[in-house]
């Protein structure tokens, strides 16, 4: 995998570029106010061409001695609101991530994507986590993580970087504990806010400790962007290490991110898909990478109305899907497929979390979907469109009859236009047959918008596994 500490500059509307000299990416304040106009979508049609070479190198990720790397876990990063003063100093973050594919060695991807100062990491360790206890690791599995042979690393602002290979037998569907020691005051300005996983903050450098005594528990991931594996998973046929290795990227908003699912249980629809691939298709070499972000929109960056409460949380929504696609999909190791579920926040945010004049039409959303299709096809990925779930009766006020007509028009286009390589009908899988503009009560988490664990099972069951052959 390439060293990303000194990135190649990208076009201005692609990946919020960082110059080779380490110029800053967007700040926590600027991202909260920036808006990507729908009219900018055609510009992105040229962006993916310029990104092809660098994205291909990272996605194929052929490392030392010809080893091919496959993504097994990922998280999409965002910046934070100005009101978020979270910081760490002389503390260890023990963070738990769940694998989808196994291997004989791994690499960790650190990120300082939205940092405005260098990220100084004193030590990193990785181990298998004791099931059900994110504070303790399985004896004999603890390993040092190095960068360029060193146990410490400094990432300039705006960069991400893969570690050296770490020899460790990594099972499929395992929990990894990644312990990151931060020796000096470090603003927590690069984050995946809603991890639906309990992670722990402990005093001092306890990265190598078999168990930590946490000062506090958090449900976010900080400074972690990915894990990749190589080699056949323990207990599987060696063939899983060769041609069958690939990754599927789940790209979406809070419904993909796992909102309202049981914390620490890995019941997102992407987790259930990974289980189906293993159990029903024997695909132990296929990674399923979740790059959903709660509140994410297809067409626009966060744009909270000035003076509104949304300024306190909207930056967590992440850059527009058409902008972050290159980083969060094309840049994933061994990515071969992507499933897109975006659009409900484009419909629901105007007048609440964004200005009223950002209402969208079906044509706007279809243009955005076409941008993702072009980007994926230019990179050689197969891209599958998922229909948008119904939300009538939701607690957030997303639904109106006019917005639902737009949703249904976009869904009809996804189903019938033939522009996506495959279609997945999440709408049909989760709606109430007696009232199809609402979620089925058995799948409703209680807010009328987010499916519960059973709803996630139904969504995953609706995905035809033949799409990934």
CB 71, CB 332: distance < 8 Å: yes
Instruction: Report DSSP letters for 135-152, one per residue.
Output: TBB-TT--EE--BTTBS-
What tens digit of pLDDT does each residue of 135-160 get?
999 999 999 999 999 999 999 999 99
What gap in Å lies between CA 403 and CA 410, rounded to an integer?
A: 11
pLDDT exceeds 50 at position 103:
yes
Mean pLDDT, range 400-416, rounded to an integer: 98
What is the chain's length? Answer: 469
Mean pLDDT, range 434-442, rounded to an integer: 98
CB 273, CB 310: distance < 8 Å: no
pLDDT exceeds 90 at position 39:
no
Q: Which is higher by pLDDT, 191 or 133?
A: 191
**Contact residues for 281 (Cβ-Cβ < 8 A; gap 6+):** 465
pLDDT exceeds 50 at position 426:
yes
Strand blocks (E) in 241-379: 246-252, 286-290, 335-341
Report the Cα 234 to chain-centroid distance in Å: 26
pLDDT at 1: 55
What gap in Å lies between CA 166 and CA 309, rounded to an integer?
A: 44
* C-alpha neighbours within 13 Å on the C-beta side of residue 93: 26
C-alpha dihedral, 220 to 180 to 121 to 140, nearest 10°: -160
CB 60, CB 67: distance < 8 Å: no
Mean pLDDT, range 378-390, rounded to an integer: 98
pLDDT at 342: 98
pLDDT at 60: 37
Report the Cα 362 to chain-centroid distance in Å: 25
Residue 437, H or E segment? strand 435-439
pLDDT exceeds 60 at position 276:
yes
Q: Which strands make up the sheet holding 335-341, listed edge to edge? A: 286-290, 246-252, 335-341, 382-386, 422-424
Bridge partners of 162, per DSSP, are 109
pLDDT at 58: 43
pLDDT exceeds 60 at position 18:
no
pLDDT exceeds 60 at position 371:
yes
pLDDT exceeds 50 at position 12:
no
What tens digit of pLDDT does each residue of 185-244 get?
999 999 999 999 999 999 999 999 999 999 999 999 999 999 999 998 887 765 544 446
pLDDT at 461: 98
pLDDT at 198: 97
pLDDT exceeds 80 at position 367:
yes
User: Which of 209-223, 274-288, 383-397 is least confident?
Assistant: 274-288
pLDDT at 234: 86
Bridge partners of 422, per DSSP, are 384
What gap in Å lies between CA 214 and CA 67, rounded to an integer?
A: 37
pLDDT at 216: 97
pLDDT exceeds 80 at position 386:
yes
CB 459, CB 451: distance < 8 Å: yes
What tens digit of pLDDT does each residue of 328-356 get?
999 999 999 999 999 999 999 999 999 99
Bridge partners of 184, per DSSP, are none
Lookup: tokens for 444:
């409703």
What gap in Å lies between CA 188 and CA 28, rounded to an integer?
A: 11
Beta strands 103-111 and 224-230, pairing class: antiparallel
What tens digit of pLDDT does each residue of 319-334 get?
999 999 999 999 999 9
What gap in Å lies between CA 3 and CA 14, rounded to an integer?
A: 20
Task: Give me the chain's average pLDDT, please.
Answer: 88
pLDDT at 28: 38
pLDDT exceeds 50 at position 49:
no
Count CB atoms within 10 A of the CB of residue 217. Answer: 12
pLDDT at 236: 74
Mean pLDDT, range 275-281, rounded to an integer: 94
Residue 169, H or E segment? strand 166-170
Lookup: tokens for 163:
């570690």
pLDDT at 238: 54
């Amino acid at each position: 995998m390439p060293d990303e500490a000194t990135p190649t500059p990208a076009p201005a509307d692609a990946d919020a570029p960082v110059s080779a000299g380490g110029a800053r990416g967007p700040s926590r304040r600027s991202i909260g106010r920036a808006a990507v106009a729908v009219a900018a979508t055609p510009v992105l049609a040229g962006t993916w061409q310029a990104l092809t070479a660098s994205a291909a190198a990272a996605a194929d990720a052929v490392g030392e001695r010809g080893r091919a790397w496959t993504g097994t876990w990922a998280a999409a990063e965002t910046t934070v609101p100005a009101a978020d003063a979270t910081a760490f100093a002389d503390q260890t973050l023990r963070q738990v991530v769940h694998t989808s594919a196994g291997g004989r060695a791994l690499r960790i991807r650190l990120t300082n994507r939205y940092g405005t100062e260098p990220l100084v990491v004193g030590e990193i360790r990785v181990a298998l986590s004791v099931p059900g206890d994110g504070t303790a690791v399985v004896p004999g599995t603890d390993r040092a993580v190095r960068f360029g042979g060193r146990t410490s690393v400094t990432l300039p602002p705006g960069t991400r970087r893969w570690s050296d290979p770490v020899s460790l037998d990594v099972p499929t569907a395992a929990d990894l504990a990644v312990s990151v020691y931060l020796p000096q005051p470090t603003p927590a300005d690069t984050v995946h806010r809603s991890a639906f996983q309990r992670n722990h903050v402990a005093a001092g450098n306890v990265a190598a400790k078999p168990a930590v005594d946490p000062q506090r528990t958090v449900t976010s991931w900080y400074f972690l962007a990915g894990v990749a594996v190589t080699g056949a998973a323990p207990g599987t046929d060696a063939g899983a290490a060769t041609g069958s290795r690939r990754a599927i990227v789940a790209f979406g908003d809070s419904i993909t991110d796992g909102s309202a699912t049981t914390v620490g249980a890995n019941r997102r629809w992407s987790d259930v898909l990974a289980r189906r691939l293993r159990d029903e298709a024997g695909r132990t070499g296929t990674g399923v990478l979740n790059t959903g972000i709660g509140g994410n929109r297809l067409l626009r960056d966060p744009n909270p109305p000035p003076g509104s409460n949304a300024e306190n949380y909207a930056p967590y929504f992440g850059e527009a899907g058409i902008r972050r696609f290159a980083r969060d999909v094309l840049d994933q190791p061994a990515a071969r497929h992507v499933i897109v579920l975006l659009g409900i926040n484009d419909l629901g945010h105007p007048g609440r979390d964004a200005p009223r004049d950002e209402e969208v039409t079906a044509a706007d959303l279809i243009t955005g979907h076409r941008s993702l299709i072009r980007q994926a096809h230019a990179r050689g990925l197969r891209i599958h469109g998922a229909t948008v779930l119904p939300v009538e009766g939701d607690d957030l006020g997303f639904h109106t009859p006019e917005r639902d007509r737009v949703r249904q028009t976009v869904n009809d286009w996804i189903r019938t236009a033939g522009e996506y390589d495959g279609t997945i009908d999440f709408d049909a899988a989760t709606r109430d047959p007696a009232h199809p503009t609402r979620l089925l009560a058995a799948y409703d988490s209680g807010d009328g918008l987010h499916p519960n664990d059973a709803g996630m099972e139904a969504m995953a069951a609706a995905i035809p596994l033949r799409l990934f052959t």
